Amino acid sequence: MLNRRTFLKASAAVIPMTTAIHALDPASALAAEEVAAAAVSGQPPQLAPLPPRLAPLSLAAEPWQQKIRRVGQSNMTEHDPAVMNIEEWADYWHRADAEIVFISVTGILAFYPSKVKFHRHGKYLNGRDFFGECVTAAKNRNMRVVARMSPDLNWGDALEAHPEWAMRTKDGSVQFSGEEPRLFKTCMFSTYMDDYIPAIMREINSLYDVDCFYTNGWPPLGSLPECHCAICSKLPAASTPAYWRAFNDRVFELWEKYDTIAKEKKPDSFFFANLGGNVRGGPNLDRLGKIAAWFQADNQGRTYDDPAIWGCSLQGRVCNAIMDGKFAANVTAAYSTGSPGWRNASKSPDEAKMWLNETLASGMIPYYHFIGSEDGFCEDRRWQKVGADFFRWTAQHDAHFTTRRSIADIGVVMGQSTQLLYPGPATVRSRAYTHETTQGIYDALLRGRYAFDFVHEDRLEPERLRQYRALLLPNVAMLSDRQCRQILEYSQAGGSIMASFQTGLYDENLNERAEFGLADLLGISKAGDVIGTNGNAYYARIEAPEANPQLPLLAGFHNTNWLAGAENRMPLKPVQNPLLTVVPGFVRYPPELAYPPVPRTDVPAVVLREMGPGRTIYFAGDIERTYWLTGHGDLLQLLHNAINWITRDERILSVEGEGFIEMFCWETAPGYAVHLLNYTNPNACHGWLQSIHPLGPQIVRMKLPQNLRVQSIELLQAAQTLPFDQRGELLQFTVPRITDYEVAAITVI
């Protein structure tokens, strides 16, 4: 990081010495003259300028949901009509500054005296209009209402009358709920979705003043349904590209139908559905982003197959990639998620709060959720303070949390089709394979403190890509010819590329190409099929002479001739002057045989190219996934060196300091907001956070657009103003401490 002398020298070299040093609160922050001096000695990365600010928007024309900042839900149970104090429920959410609440209509159990056939009344309803009373209580407190429905399950009487509504196994038997065998799974291709669900929606519209409609449990999260009913047996085979297209057509057919029904009473009403699954989302996210008024991210907490603490932030990056600034909310479960789970008991406060922190930091709207009245307001009440305190805090700073656009200059291509359909290489064949790859690149980017966005594979147009100096393709195996051309054109326009393993080896129909789709761009040629690991994985031998200008890729490696490779690799044809070559894998045990029979080859382990301002680098192995599985430092260092090389060691935002953090930077109406999430914790990748481990000073540097002056910087968690040093376009300030989360709100003039 920059020291005082180097900072002044760099400032003088770049811009006139028009000094603006502010010490706004010397009692609670570092004095202005100490800000730069607090930096660590050494040369920092170069700073790229932030893009020019967007023109102000007229808020009057915004849809009402765009103005919602806090969402609440007590998920009703069948027993609630017998025990729930509706006024207490409504008062809690109102005092917490919730602006909209979800209220259960359902579809499994009616919470109002429904006349729709097979919409079974709960056994404690007793003719009461429980839903209507809740709507009235919410409206009396100026809270909007989401009518929540569940179309995924129903009871035996409906099955007996309509056997065609059920999902079936290959042998024709009915698929039932895994937890409640009295409930059968409904098929989304059946008339259940065409007739039954619309009948409930129209009944609600005729009786109540609701603001929008939502279906829980549909579409499926993170996977595609497998059904063998009479309708589905005529569709393409499950989990194939052809089936995914049919699935998407049906999802959006129903979405349009339900949205039209929602608008029959009020034109500003709309329909939205259960979403989430982050990069593994079921519906095509590109299509979804074009029609959805509300992205409902159902990522309620960490699970056994998603143990990393950043799961909510990852979802937020997905929403930012596809919603173009439209409404997105993430459900934070106050109850105990995971496996096994305790749906009626609170999780640790630190864990729940971090999930809310990530929701806000990643640009989504906080949404807090517990189960029922008897448990949530009588038995276990620990969750209530966490949500109320967080909501009230955000209400004080809504302007700084209303994001306009992300400030990032690295784009990670999100191959949704690869995530859903690509089974992994023949050596592995695991549905978790691609998600492990995503976790690996995500972890590496966090540890390198890079500012990055996700970019959907179907959104590679030049106008979207021009903000990124580099695109990362972490084993994006499936790419169409059009997508390959778009990536090539991006590179020809000066962008840089990092790709790995089987990127572009398959087309959009999962047909394997004879050659990589990006072979010419990356300068590579396939020389065989995937080679896995049996014993020792392969090694990468350092071949570069001292004069090789590509040596920055080897920064930090000393006193070794080879580096750890990945678990699986694509064999490549030789290239000129390779930097790293493959030492083939060999026996690990017994140790007497643990030496390489072939110690040197001409097979490249990495291929680098430089063409004008753009650079490309290709790793022959599945380096991101192997890093995630092992945490090997060689792989992490290689990934960081590669990213630094293709970006010419230039960053749009620099945050220097100790600890493991995730950072976001957003343009806001007042200026900018730098969000810092502290993941320095023994439970960052397992279990729940049980305590917080605060971090010391973090030094932030940005290069502002021309003629922009900073008026003030406020830490929203610490509730203090900060001194800062602005010299022309260069801005530097120090965040003295981070507990779990801090936001530096920058107001500009």
The more confident residue out of 24 and 166 is 166
Cβ atoms 22, 723 nearer than 8 A: yes
In a domain, 301, yes or no: yes
- Residue 60 reports pLDDT greater than 80: no
Domain of 664, CATH number, reads 2.60.40
351 in the Ramachandran plot: left (φ > 0), alpha (ψ -120 to 50) or beta? alpha
Beta bridge partners of 272: 214
Domain span including residue 372: 63-153+197-222+266-402
Q: What is the pLDDT of residue 9?
A: 36
SS3 172: coil
In a domain, 175, yes or no: no
Q: Are residues 634 and 722 in the same domain?
A: no
In whole angstroms, give the CA distance from residue 347 to residue 331. Answer: 14
HEC per residue, 193-262? HHHHHHHHHHHHHHHCCCCEEEECCCCCCCCCCCCCCCCHHHCCCCCCHHHHHHHHHHHHHHHHHHHHHH
- Residue 29 reports pLDDT greater than 60: no
Closest C-alpha to 445, from 720, 215, 642, 711: 642
CA distances from 92 to 74, 85, 398 (A): 10, 11, 20
Domain of 364, CATH number, reads 3.20.20.80
Q: Give me the percent of the chain exceeding a pLDDT of 70.
A: 93
> How much is the average pLDDT of 531-555?
85
Q: Are residues 105 and 134 in the same domain?
A: yes
> The tokens of 394 are what?
């955000």
Of 42-46, 518-522, 530-534, 702-706, minimum mean pLDDT range: 42-46
Cβ atoms 30, 644 nearer than 8 A: no
> How much is the average pLDDT of 14-42?
35
The per-residue pLDDT for range 254-283, each reduced to its tens digit, is 999 999 999 999 999 999 999 988 888 899
In a domain, 621, yes or no: yes
Domain of 441, CATH number, reads 3.40.50.880
- Residue 43 reports pLDDT greater than 70: no
Model confidence band, residue 58 (pLDDT cutoffs 50, 70, 90) = low
Instruction: Report the 10 Å Cβ neighbour count for 555.
Output: 14
Q: What is the pLDDT of residue 222?
A: 80
> How much is the average pLDDT of 37-51?
68
Q: Are residues 422 and 506 in the same domain?
A: yes
In whole angstroms, give the CA distance from residue 166 to residue 227. Answer: 9
Q: Are residues 662 and 633 in the same domain?
A: no
Q: Give me the percent of the chain exceeding a pLDDT of 90.
A: 86
Q: Which helix (H) or strand (E) holds 416?
A: helix 416-421
Q: Are residues 677 and 621 in the same domain?
A: no
Q: Are residues 596 and 564 in the same domain?
A: yes
Q: Are residues 86 and 213 in the same domain?
A: yes
Q: What is the pLDDT of residue 717?
A: 97
Q: The whole model's pTM is what?
A: 0.93
Cβ atoms 333, 347 nearer than 8 A: yes
In whole angstroms, give the CA distance from residue 257 to residue 264. Answer: 11
Question: Order of strands across the sheet with 653-656?
Answer: 19-22, 724-727, 730-735, 698-703, 653-656
Q: What is the pLDDT of residue 6?
A: 36
Chosen domain end from 608, 634, 650 = 650
**Dihedral of the alpha carbons of 550, 551, 557, 561, in degrees to the nearest 10:** 90
42-69 per-residue burial string, b: 16 or more CB within 10 A, e: under 16: eebbebbebeebeeeeeeeeeebbbebb
Q: Are strands 294-297 and 271-275 parallel, antiparallel or unpaired?
A: parallel
CA distances from 144 to 51, 164, 264, 389 (A): 37, 37, 18, 21
- Residue 31 reports pLDDT greater than 50: no
Q: Are residues 201 and 342 in the same domain?
A: yes
Q: What is the pLDDT of residue 215?
A: 97
| Mean of the per-residue pLDDT values of the chain | 92
233, with CB counted inside 10 A (0-12, 13-18, 19+), is exposed
In whole angstroms, give the CA distance from residue 395 to residue 61. Answer: 22
Cβ atoms 368, 72 nearer than 8 A: yes
Q: What is the pLDDT of residue 514?
A: 97
In whole angstroms, give the CA distance from residue 384 to residue 539. Answer: 53
In a domain, 251, yes or no: no
- Number of H-type helices and E-type strands within the chain: 21, 34
Q: What is the pLDDT of residue 359?
A: 98
Model confidence band, residue 72 (pLDDT cutoffs 50, 70, 90) = very high
Q: What is the pLDDT of residue 45?
A: 76
Residues whose CB falls within 8 Å of the CB of residue 481, separated by 6 or more in sequence, listed in order: 507, 517
Q: Are residues 486 and 422 in the same domain?
A: yes
In whole angstroms, give the CA distance from residue 193 to residue 166. Answer: 11
> How much is the average pLDDT of 24-52?
54
Q: Are residues 353 and 423 in the same domain?
A: no
Of 44-58, 340-354, 443-457, minimum mean pLDDT range: 44-58
Q: What is the pLDDT of residue 551?
A: 81
643 in the Ramachandran plot: left (φ > 0), alpha (ψ -120 to 50) or beta? alpha
The owner of tokens 């950043």 is 310
> How much is the average pLDDT of 502-531?
98
Residues whose CB falls within 8 Å of the CB of residue 649, separated by 6 or more in sequence, listed in order: 45, 46, 552
Q: What is the pLDDT of residue 16?
A: 29
In a domain, 232, yes or no: no
Q: What is the pLDDT of residue 339?
A: 84
> How much is the average pLDDT of 9-26?
33
The owner of tokens 């991101």 is 624
Whether the CA torsion 297, 71, 99, 260 is positive or negative: it is: positive
Q: What is the pLDDT of residue 550?
A: 65
> How much is the average pLDDT of 656-678?
98
In a domain, 288, yes or no: yes
- Residue 37 reports pLDDT greater than 50: no
Q: Are residues 685 and 571 in the same domain?
A: no
Q: What is the pLDDT of residue 747?
A: 98
Q: Are residues 397 and 442 in the same domain?
A: no
In a domain, 617, yes or no: yes
Whether the CA torsion 115, 217, 328, 686 is positive or negative: it is: positive
Q: Could you give the number of structural domains in the chain?
A: 3
Model confidence band, residue 540 (pLDDT cutoffs 50, 70, 90) = very high
Chosen domain end from 594, 615, 650 = 650
Of 508-512, 683-687, 730-734, minimum mean pLDDT range: 683-687
In a domain, 636, yes or no: yes
Closest C-alpha to 448, from 566, 556, 312: 556
- Residue 145 reports pLDDT greater than 90: yes
